[in-house]
Structure 1
Amino acid sequence: MPAHSSEGTQPSRRWGVEVRQLLLMLLMLTAARASFANHYQVPSSSMENTLFPGDRVAVNMMAYGVRFPFTETDLIAVDQPERGDIVVFDSPGDGTRLIKRVVAVAGDTVELAQGRLRVNGRALSNETQPDVEVFGERHSVLNLGRGGGPDIPASVVPAGKVLVLGDNRGNSADGRFFGWVSADQVYGKAVAVYYRRDQGFVWKEL
């Protein structure tokens, strides 16, 4: 009887070990996804003409630091969001996961009139291309089909904060409504669109 009982438990033990190994592997993969790379599906038109509803975007979760998996605790601080970056973060208003463009960082004086930006006294668009804003090497093509939305009087971005706006200025719930976003609360940087409804799988760098 003892020998028979021992033989009968060996398969179940092996099965238990395999299940634990599988669960550990799944946990590690999920943690890696949460800490290093992820994706985001665009839910609205607030970032047109850069992103469109249904776009699937690859997100670099290490762009601004490495976080302890499943937490907001930074293990390694790498960088800070820069003007022109398209970032993923939780709205300070209701916690909704959003994707917007960083248009001003700590210390900047920012002003918005009729949907067009001035940062540190300099207009980001010009008369030749009034609907194109230039952030260094990045260019964003605005959608002003529904107007420019609420204006922003000249304001200084506080330390540790950024201002985020949608490129579709007349149809975007952004920093004009929920205020500044803490730079250390930005989860990741959108790097490319990898799927678009009318084109299928693509790779359009942002």
Structure 2
Amino acid sequence: MKTWVRANKGFLLFLALFGVFRTAVADWNPIPSASMHPNLLEGDVVFVNRLAYNVKVPLTDIVIGHTGEPQRGDIVTFSSPANGTRLIKRVIALPGDRVEMRDEQLIINGQPAGYSAIGHGTEAIEGVGELAAVRVDETLGASSHAIQFLPQVKARRNFAPLVVPAGEYMMLGDNRDNSADSRYIGLVPRALLIGRAERVLASADIQGNWMPRTERFGMSLYQK
């Protein structure tokens, strides 16, 4: 064993440094579920900037320092406060914001979000089949992004006003009626943020023929 280690110490050092890089600087995140439809699809692999908000001790959630502030509309990866699972959602409300939802409409600091129709689609729900999806642009102040609703699905479409405490964030999935987000798992402390998702690195149709979706390669996750 010692002989093998000596013979391969360069490769082992590379693996160690690569591991530190992935846990401290940049990472990629496969998309396993439909919770961010229509913007992220199952089979997308997104680039995550781990230095967007915090510098952490590698392999831990210990924050050494802050590098930036999460903004409303950012797509972020984080560890679920409920069970530690890595999730990817959108920042909807910041510390100090007063936020509520009435019949799917968000109201932040007294200002209702704006919605404009952009089309329809379909959503395959396991055990149910294909359902019609309504897609709209949601505008929250300076942030605008596509989301979708599934009117036939039972979901949490209302919640009472709450003020987001210091150091915490509200996260929602873009697929509003098919997302386990802050409505279910609670607000997300800053220390659990992993990084900001920037763009799709690669994509494949993992629910179909596994062919690459080359039109999504390098695609930015933010509207210009």
Measured against the shorter chain, the TM-score band is: 0.7 to 0.9
138 and 192 in structure 1: CA distance in 2 versus 1, 3 angstrom threshold: farther
Letter matched to residue 176 of structure 1: R
Compute the TM-score of the two structures, normalised by the length of structure 1.
0.85
Aligned partner of 1:124 in structure 2 is 113
1:205 aligns with 2:220: yes
C-alpha distance in 2 between matches for 1:120 and 1:23: 52
Q: Alignment partner for residue 184 of structure 1, among 191, 194, 213?
A: 191
| Pairing partner for 2:155 from 132, 149, 153 | 149
Q: Relative to 1, partners in 2 of residues 1:185 and 1:52: Cα closer, same or farther, differing over 3 Å? A: same
Q: Distance in 2 between the 1:21 and 1:127 partners?
A: 56
Report the more deviating stretch, 47-56 or 98-107: 47-56
Equivalent runs, 1:1-206 vs 2, <5 Å: 16-126=5-115, 131-135=136-140, 137-146=142-151, 149-150=155-156, 151-197=158-204, 199-200=213-214, 202-206=217-221
Displacement of 1:60? 0.4
Following TM superposition, by how much is the alpha carbon of 1:148 offset from its aligned partner in structure 2, in angstroms? 8.2
CA distance in 1, matches of 2:37, 2:108: 21
Residue identity (%): 36
Please report the RMSD computed on the Cα atoms of aligned residues, expressed in angstroms: 2.2
Q: 1:196 to 1:19 in 2, by over 3 A?
A: closer
Runs (4+) of structure 1 exceeding 6 A deviation are: none
Residue 72 to residue 128, structure 1, CA distance change in 2 (3 Å): closer
Normalising by structure 2, we get a TM-score of: 0.79
User: Counterparts of 2:15 and 2:168 in 1: how far apart (Å)?
Assistant: 35
1:84 and 1:108 mapped to 2: Cα distance? 14
Q: Secondary structure at the match of 1:101?
A: strand
Q: Deviations over 1:28-62 (max 9, x none)?
A: 11101111110111111111111111111110011
Distance 1:61 1:16 in 2: 31
> Matched residues in 1 for 2:145 and 2:102: separation?
17
Deviations 1:143-184 (A, max 9, x none): 102468311211110111000000111111110001110022
* SS state at 1:205 partner: coil
Per-residue CA deviations over 1:58-80 (Å, capped at 9, x if unaligned) read: 10011012212111122331122
What SS class does the counterpart of residue 89 from structure 1 fall into?
Answer: strand
Q: Which deviates more from structure 2 when the two are superposed, residues 191-200 or residues 167-176?
A: 191-200
